[in-house]
Amino acid sequence: MSEELIGDGDRPLVAVLDYGSGNVHSAVKALEAAGADVRLTNDRGLVLEADGLLVPGVGAFRAVMEQLTAIRGGELIDRRLAGGRPVMGICVGMQVLFERGIERGVDTEGLGEWPGVVAELDAPVVPHMGWNTVEAPESSVLFRGIRDERFYFVHSYAAQEWTLGVQPPFPEPAVTWAAHGGRFIAAVENGPLSATQFHPEKSGEAGIRLLANWVGSLRR
Protein backbone atom coordinates (compact mmCIF):
# COMPACT_ATOMS: atom_id res chain seq x y z
CA MET A 1 0.00 0.00 0.00
CA SER A 2 1.38 3.42 -0.93
CA GLU A 3 2.18 5.94 1.77
CA GLU A 4 -0.81 8.16 0.79
CA LEU A 5 -3.16 5.25 1.50
CA ILE A 6 -1.92 4.68 5.03
CA GLY A 7 -4.02 6.24 7.76
CA ASP A 8 -2.46 8.40 10.46
CA GLY A 9 -1.80 6.02 13.34
CA ASP A 10 -5.03 4.62 14.71
CA ARG A 11 -7.23 7.06 12.78
CA PRO A 12 -9.23 5.54 9.91
CA LEU A 13 -8.48 7.07 6.52
CA VAL A 14 -11.53 8.83 5.05
CA ALA A 15 -11.60 10.19 1.50
CA VAL A 16 -13.95 13.14 0.95
CA LEU A 17 -14.93 12.99 -2.72
CA ASP A 18 -13.80 16.18 -4.45
CA TYR A 19 -16.06 16.55 -7.49
CA GLY A 20 -16.88 20.27 -7.41
CA SER A 21 -19.46 20.37 -4.62
CA GLY A 22 -19.38 23.25 -2.16
CA ASN A 23 -19.08 23.00 1.61
CA VAL A 24 -16.37 20.35 1.50
CA HIS A 25 -13.90 22.05 3.83
CA SER A 26 -16.32 22.16 6.76
CA ALA A 27 -16.97 18.45 6.21
CA VAL A 28 -13.22 17.77 6.24
CA LYS A 29 -12.77 19.67 9.51
CA ALA A 30 -15.73 17.91 11.12
CA LEU A 31 -14.39 14.48 10.16
CA GLU A 32 -10.99 15.38 11.57
CA ALA A 33 -12.67 16.42 14.82
CA ALA A 34 -14.50 13.07 14.75
CA GLY A 35 -11.22 11.16 14.71
CA ALA A 36 -10.52 10.51 11.03
CA ASP A 37 -7.43 11.05 8.92
CA VAL A 38 -9.07 12.94 6.04
CA ARG A 39 -8.07 13.50 2.41
CA LEU A 40 -10.08 15.72 0.04
CA THR A 41 -9.50 13.96 -3.26
CA ASN A 42 -10.81 12.56 -6.53
CA ASP A 43 -7.83 10.23 -6.94
CA ARG A 44 -9.45 6.95 -7.94
CA GLY A 45 -7.01 4.73 -6.08
CA LEU A 46 -7.36 6.66 -2.86
CA VAL A 47 -11.16 6.87 -3.17
CA LEU A 48 -11.39 3.12 -3.69
CA GLU A 49 -8.94 2.06 -0.98
CA ALA A 50 -9.69 4.49 1.87
CA ASP A 51 -11.39 3.05 4.95
CA GLY A 52 -14.39 5.30 4.33
CA LEU A 53 -15.69 7.54 1.54
CA LEU A 54 -17.76 10.64 2.26
CA VAL A 55 -19.87 12.08 -0.58
CA PRO A 56 -20.89 15.68 0.20
CA GLY A 57 -23.51 17.56 -1.78
CA VAL A 58 -25.14 20.97 -1.91
CA GLY A 59 -27.32 22.64 -4.50
CA ALA A 60 -29.50 20.98 -7.13
CA PHE A 61 -29.92 17.23 -7.70
CA ARG A 62 -29.19 17.54 -11.44
CA ALA A 63 -26.06 19.65 -10.96
CA VAL A 64 -24.64 17.20 -8.42
CA MET A 65 -25.36 14.26 -10.72
CA GLU A 66 -23.63 16.02 -13.62
CA GLN A 67 -20.58 16.72 -11.47
CA LEU A 68 -20.44 13.14 -10.19
CA THR A 69 -20.86 11.75 -13.71
CA ALA A 70 -17.95 13.89 -14.93
CA ILE A 71 -15.54 12.06 -12.59
CA ARG A 72 -17.33 8.67 -12.86
CA GLY A 73 -18.29 9.02 -9.22
CA GLY A 74 -21.17 6.56 -9.49
CA GLU A 75 -18.75 3.86 -10.63
CA LEU A 76 -16.46 4.56 -7.67
CA ILE A 77 -19.36 4.32 -5.22
CA ASP A 78 -20.59 1.09 -6.85
CA ARG A 79 -17.16 -0.51 -6.69
CA ARG A 80 -16.71 0.37 -3.03
CA LEU A 81 -20.13 -0.98 -2.08
CA ALA A 82 -19.58 -4.16 -4.09
CA GLY A 83 -16.53 -4.79 -1.90
CA GLY A 84 -18.38 -3.93 1.31
CA ARG A 85 -16.38 -0.73 1.77
CA PRO A 86 -18.26 2.03 3.66
CA VAL A 87 -19.71 5.08 1.88
CA MET A 88 -21.59 7.97 3.50
CA GLY A 89 -23.59 10.67 1.69
CA ILE A 90 -24.61 14.07 3.09
CA CYS A 91 -27.56 16.24 1.99
CA VAL A 92 -27.72 16.10 -1.84
CA GLY A 93 -25.00 13.47 -1.53
CA MET A 94 -27.74 11.39 0.11
CA GLN A 95 -30.47 12.38 -2.34
CA VAL A 96 -28.56 11.20 -5.43
CA LEU A 97 -28.35 7.70 -3.94
CA PHE A 98 -32.03 7.26 -4.82
CA GLU A 99 -33.37 6.39 -8.27
CA ARG A 100 -34.67 9.80 -9.30
CA GLY A 101 -34.91 13.42 -8.25
CA ILE A 102 -37.65 15.81 -9.36
CA GLU A 103 -36.87 19.49 -8.84
CA ARG A 104 -38.93 22.30 -10.40
CA GLY A 105 -40.37 19.85 -12.90
CA VAL A 106 -36.96 18.50 -13.93
CA ASP A 107 -36.76 14.70 -13.59
CA THR A 108 -33.17 13.49 -13.19
CA GLU A 109 -31.87 9.94 -12.91
CA GLY A 110 -29.95 9.30 -9.69
CA LEU A 111 -27.39 6.64 -8.80
CA GLY A 112 -30.09 4.09 -8.01
CA GLU A 113 -28.51 2.57 -4.91
CA TRP A 114 -31.96 2.77 -3.27
CA PRO A 115 -35.42 2.77 -4.88
CA GLY A 116 -37.45 5.92 -4.57
CA VAL A 117 -37.91 9.50 -5.68
CA VAL A 118 -36.60 12.70 -4.12
CA ALA A 119 -39.31 15.37 -4.39
CA GLU A 120 -40.34 18.69 -2.85
CA LEU A 121 -41.26 18.62 0.81
CA ASP A 122 -44.98 18.68 1.62
CA ALA A 123 -44.74 21.70 3.92
CA PRO A 124 -46.21 25.20 4.12
CA VAL A 125 -42.74 26.74 4.15
CA VAL A 126 -39.72 25.61 2.13
CA PRO A 127 -36.82 25.39 2.34
CA HIS A 128 -36.70 23.52 5.62
CA MET A 129 -33.92 25.45 7.32
CA GLY A 130 -32.84 25.03 10.91
CA TRP A 131 -32.60 22.56 13.77
CA ASN A 132 -34.87 19.55 14.03
CA THR A 133 -35.20 16.36 16.02
CA VAL A 134 -35.18 12.95 14.35
CA GLU A 135 -36.78 9.55 14.98
CA ALA A 136 -33.93 7.03 14.92
CA PRO A 137 -34.48 3.28 15.36
CA GLU A 138 -32.83 1.39 18.20
CA SER A 139 -30.69 -0.45 15.65
CA SER A 140 -29.00 2.77 14.50
CA VAL A 141 -25.23 3.01 14.85
CA LEU A 142 -25.01 6.62 13.63
CA PHE A 143 -27.36 7.90 16.35
CA ARG A 144 -25.96 5.82 19.19
CA GLY A 145 -26.04 8.05 22.27
CA ILE A 146 -27.54 11.04 20.41
CA ARG A 147 -31.11 10.02 19.55
CA ASP A 148 -32.55 12.97 21.47
CA GLU A 149 -30.31 15.60 19.86
CA ARG A 150 -31.20 18.14 17.18
CA PHE A 151 -29.52 18.34 13.78
CA TYR A 152 -29.22 21.11 11.20
CA PHE A 153 -31.22 20.86 7.96
CA VAL A 154 -31.15 23.06 4.85
CA HIS A 155 -33.24 21.57 2.03
CA SER A 156 -36.42 21.84 0.01
CA TYR A 157 -36.44 18.26 -1.29
CA ALA A 158 -36.20 14.82 0.30
CA ALA A 159 -37.12 11.17 -0.10
CA GLN A 160 -40.46 10.69 1.64
CA GLU A 161 -40.99 6.94 1.29
CA TRP A 162 -38.80 3.92 2.00
CA THR A 163 -39.62 0.96 -0.23
CA LEU A 164 -36.50 -1.20 -0.20
CA GLY A 165 -37.35 -4.70 0.95
CA VAL A 166 -34.68 -7.11 2.19
CA GLN A 167 -34.76 -10.83 2.84
CA PRO A 168 -32.95 -12.77 5.58
CA PRO A 169 -30.10 -13.18 6.28
CA PHE A 170 -29.65 -9.51 5.31
CA PRO A 171 -30.55 -7.11 8.14
CA GLU A 172 -33.27 -4.51 7.77
CA PRO A 173 -31.85 -1.05 7.00
CA ALA A 174 -32.02 1.46 9.85
CA VAL A 175 -34.17 4.31 8.51
CA THR A 176 -34.39 7.54 10.51
CA TRP A 177 -37.25 9.98 9.97
CA ALA A 178 -37.91 13.67 10.60
CA ALA A 179 -40.89 15.94 9.94
CA HIS A 180 -41.34 19.33 8.32
CA GLY A 181 -44.95 19.45 7.24
CA GLY A 182 -44.96 15.78 6.24
CA ARG A 183 -42.48 13.10 7.24
CA PHE A 184 -39.30 12.55 5.27
CA ILE A 185 -36.22 10.35 5.49
CA ALA A 186 -33.53 12.01 7.59
CA ALA A 187 -30.93 9.21 7.46
CA VAL A 188 -30.40 5.66 6.24
CA GLU A 189 -27.95 2.95 7.34
CA ASN A 190 -27.96 0.07 4.85
CA GLY A 191 -24.96 -2.22 5.18
CA PRO A 192 -21.86 -0.31 4.05
CA LEU A 193 -23.98 2.58 2.70
CA SER A 194 -25.09 5.35 5.06
CA ALA A 195 -26.43 8.85 4.49
CA THR A 196 -27.95 11.86 6.22
CA GLN A 197 -30.27 14.50 4.80
CA PHE A 198 -29.07 16.99 7.42
CA HIS A 199 -25.57 18.41 7.70
CA PRO A 200 -23.57 16.76 10.51
CA GLU A 201 -20.75 19.24 9.91
CA LYS A 202 -23.15 22.10 10.75
CA SER A 203 -24.82 20.32 13.68
CA GLY A 204 -22.39 21.22 16.44
CA GLU A 205 -21.34 18.62 18.98
CA ALA A 206 -24.17 16.25 18.04
CA GLY A 207 -22.99 16.22 14.44
CA ILE A 208 -19.40 15.51 15.45
CA ARG A 209 -20.59 12.65 17.64
CA LEU A 210 -22.61 11.21 14.75
CA LEU A 211 -19.56 11.37 12.48
CA ALA A 212 -17.47 9.84 15.26
CA ASN A 213 -19.93 6.94 15.41
CA TRP A 214 -19.46 6.41 11.67
CA VAL A 215 -15.67 6.81 11.83
CA GLY A 216 -15.55 4.36 14.73
CA SER A 217 -17.37 1.78 12.60
CA LEU A 218 -14.57 1.99 10.01
CA ARG A 219 -11.86 0.69 12.31
CA ARG A 220 -10.48 -2.60 11.06
Domain ranges in the chain are: 3-217
Helix (H) or strand (E) holding 13: strand 13-17
- pLDDT tens digit at each of 220 positions of the chain: 343 555 566 899 999 999 998 779 999 999 999 999 999 999 999 999 999 999 999 999 999 999 999 999 999 999 999 999 999 999 999 999 999 999 999 999 999 999 999 999 999 999 999 999 999 999 999 999 999 999 999 999 999 999 998 888 888 999 999 999 999 999 999 999 999 999 999 999 999 999 999 999 997 5
- Of the residues 49, 91, 155, 180, only one is catalytic, namely 91
pLDDT computed for residue 6 by the predictor = 52
**Active-site residue, 66 included:** no
**Active-site residue, 201 included:** yes
Sequence length of the chain is: 220
Nearest to 29 by CA among 215, 213, 219, 208: 208
Whole-number Å distance between alpha carbons of 34 and 37: 9
Q: Which residues of 101-129 are buried (b: 16+ CB within 10 A; e: fewer)?
A: bebeeeebebbebbebbbbebeeeeeebe
- The reported pTM is 0.94
- Of the residues 32, 109, 201, 205, only one is catalytic, namely 201
pLDDT computed for residue 1 by the predictor = 39
Half-sphere exposure of 215 (CA within 13 A, CB side): 26
Backbone angles phi, psi at 16, to 5 degrees: -100, 120
Question: Residue 202: CB partners within 8 Å, gap ≥ 6?
Answer: 26, 152, 154
Q: Topology of domain 3-217, per CATH?
A: Rossmann fold (3.40.50)
pLDDT computed for residue 7 by the predictor = 54
- Of the residues 128, 155, 180, 199, only one is catalytic, namely 199
Q: What is the DSSP letter of 103?
A: E
**Active-site residue, 128 included:** no
